[in-house]
Amino acid sequence: MLFNSIEFLIFLPIVFCIYWLLHKRLQWQNAFVVAASYLFYGWWDWRFLLLIAFTTLCSFASGIAITNTRQKSDGKWPSPKFYLWANIVVNLLILGLFKYYDFFAQSFADAFLGGNADRLLLHLVLPVGISFYTFQALSYSIDVYRGTIKPTRDVVAFFAYVSFFPQLVAGPIERATSLLPQFEQARRFDYRTAVDGLRQMLWGFFKKMVVADSCAIYVDNIFDHPDWFNGSSLLLAAVLFTIQIYGDFSGYSDIAIGCAKLFGIRLRRNFNVPYFSRDIAEFWRRWHISLTTWFRDYIYIPMGGSRVPKGRVLLNTLVIFLVSGLWHGANWTFVAWGAYHALLFLPLILMGKNRKYRNVVAEGRALPSLRELGQMILTFFLAVMGWILFRADSIAEAWQYYVHMFSTLFDGSPTLTSNMDAWVVLVAVVVMTVVEWLNRDREHEFQRQPRCRALRWAGYVALLFMIGAYMVTNEMPFIYFQF
């Protein structure tokens, strides 16, 4: 079920009302969350419910087994580590089978069989959100093994933790240490939190349906036929895709986080105005925060993190970027995208500047300095160049895109496609940029509101009008659903 669908507009208020009617019975309320979440997820294909249920049961059982074997402490096999790795291996095998098997089989065939991979390919359909809920489930068993959380015996609460529908298919990737306890204790409806959640959802819908989807019209046409256009058109398409993917993915996160607030649940922030970053290191602290911190805590630090010699730190960082790229999809373009960002990040480590910018840009000031503005423009441009790799279907296509773009960059002004409303795109992007700049130091980018009630409601109505207009004409899936 898509957030930007009529079905969800019917689904959400019904679930909200029943959920709070059950607030006196925590177990029933959690059971209802699981039922609603499975309905939400099974809307695409009910067969995938078996996978998420299996992943959930494996992680739940592993947590209990890890603790039980540790309490015995008799040194006999199987050890707690066995149950940890059993859960990790089983879940990664499932993820690898559905997401990566055909990719590596085709790559093997291209390298050794002349590209003939018909007998090797399984043509499995990728379950929506499998990367997100797998990582969320795995973090639980790892945290239990580390002793940072006690294993839960409440299977219903654990199922709710893994399958909570607002963030199920595209994050944020939650940790059991913060989300699971919220399902193990009674929740009370808070009016102010709910209103703030609705406001954040409204902003998320605007970013997705007005900003991202209006950019997509131009982006898709240019990237599908790059040879038809001059370099300035290709550069504009790359810039608009940079805005599209941010509006699409951060918009989903805003809707998810805001929706969770309606149910008395707090989710972690996933984006923190990344395009206002002053270098690539800051960009990665602000982009897809739940994933980057997951890789940091569960892969980078166990590999030694930054406590090892400089050469090893560089290797660890490179590995994390490559894995992060591969996580995004079964294509060498994503690996190349990860390697590209690693090449931008590694010099900052060598110079000791990878943690330089940890505060808000232009803190306490209305506008950035010329130096800060230049840094943000450069970082944005570097991100744009990387997103071309991310958007291309192959490395060869990406290379051709770069060559054609730079070789014909000054061959005229950008060409606007016939079905693109340039004014809508321009106004939407400007509105998003201004609002997010004004809220760059807030919990979310639509928190600061005019004191005048009439102005506030005029803004809400305007956003609703634009969102409604796009909902009637478009129902585009979220980009990160494919990951």
Contact between 180 and 157 under an 8 Å Cβ cutoff? The reply is yes
User: In Å, what is the CA distance from 128 to each residue of 40, 83, 134?
Assistant: 12, 27, 11
Q: Which of 122, 126, 106 is nearest to 114 (CA)?
A: 106
Task: Give yes or no for residue 91 having a pLDDT over 90.
Answer: yes
Q: pLDDT (tens digit, 9 = 90+) per residue, 388-440?
A: 999 999 999 999 999 999 999 888 888 876 556 777 888 889 999 999 999 99
**What is the mean predicted confidence (pLDDT) over 451-465?**
88
Q: pLDDT (tens digit, 9 = 90+) per residue, 171-213?
A: 799 999 999 999 999 999 999 999 999 999 999 999 999 999 8
In this prediction, residue 171 carries a pLDDT of 78
In this prediction, residue 418 carries a pLDDT of 57
Task: Give yes or no for residue 462 having a pLDDT over 80.
Answer: yes
Which percentage of the chain shows pLDDT scores above 90? Answer: 67
270 φ, ψ (degrees, to nearest 5):
-110, -25
Contact between 118 and 144 under an 8 Å Cβ cutoff? The reply is no
Dump the DSSP string for 144-194.
HHHTSSPPP--HHHHHHHHH-GGGTTT-----HHHHHHHHSS-----HHHH
Task: Give yes or no for residue 122 having a pLDDT over 90.
Answer: no
Task: Give yes or no for residue 77 having a pLDDT over 80.
Answer: no
Which percentage of the chain shows pLDDT scores above 70? Answer: 96
DSSP one-letter code for 444: S
Range with top average pLDDT, 44-53, 57-66, 108-117, 349-358:
57-66
The whole-angstrom separation of Cα 415 and Cα 408 is: 13
Task: Give yes or no for residue 479 having a pLDDT over 70.
Answer: yes
96 φ, ψ (degrees, to nearest 5):
-65, -40
Task: Give yes or no for residue 71 having a pLDDT over 80.
Answer: no
The whole-angstrom separation of Cα 198 and Cα 446 is: 10
Task: Give yes or no for residue 476 having a pLDDT over 80.
Answer: no
> What are the catalytic residues?
328
Residue 464 token pair:
């609703």
In this prediction, residue 118 carries a pLDDT of 78
Q: Which of 250, 286, 231 is nearest to 414 (CA)?
A: 231
In this prediction, residue 73 carries a pLDDT of 61
In this prediction, residue 158 carries a pLDDT of 97
In this prediction, residue 102 carries a pLDDT of 85
472 φ, ψ (degrees, to nearest 5):
-70, -35
Task: Give yes or no for residue 137 having a pLDDT over 70.
Answer: yes
Residue 4 token pair:
């930007």
Q: pLDDT (tens digit, 9 = 90+) per residue, 5-33?
A: 889 999 999 999 999 999 889 999 999 99
Task: Give yes or no for residue 296 having a pLDDT over 80.
Answer: yes
The whole-angstrom separation of Cα 324 and Cα 290 is: 12
Residue 385: how many other CB atoms lie within 10 Å: 15
Helix (H, G, I), strand (E, B) or coil at 392: coil
Q: pLDDT (tens digit, 9 = 90+) per residue, 152-169?
A: 999 999 999 999 999 998
Residue 267 token pair:
């989710």
Contact between 159 and 81 under an 8 Å Cβ cutoff? The reply is no
The whole-angstrom separation of Cα 479 and Cα 60 is: 30
Contact between 318 and 374 under an 8 Å Cβ cutoff? The reply is no
In this prediction, residue 74 carries a pLDDT of 62
Position 269, amino acid: R
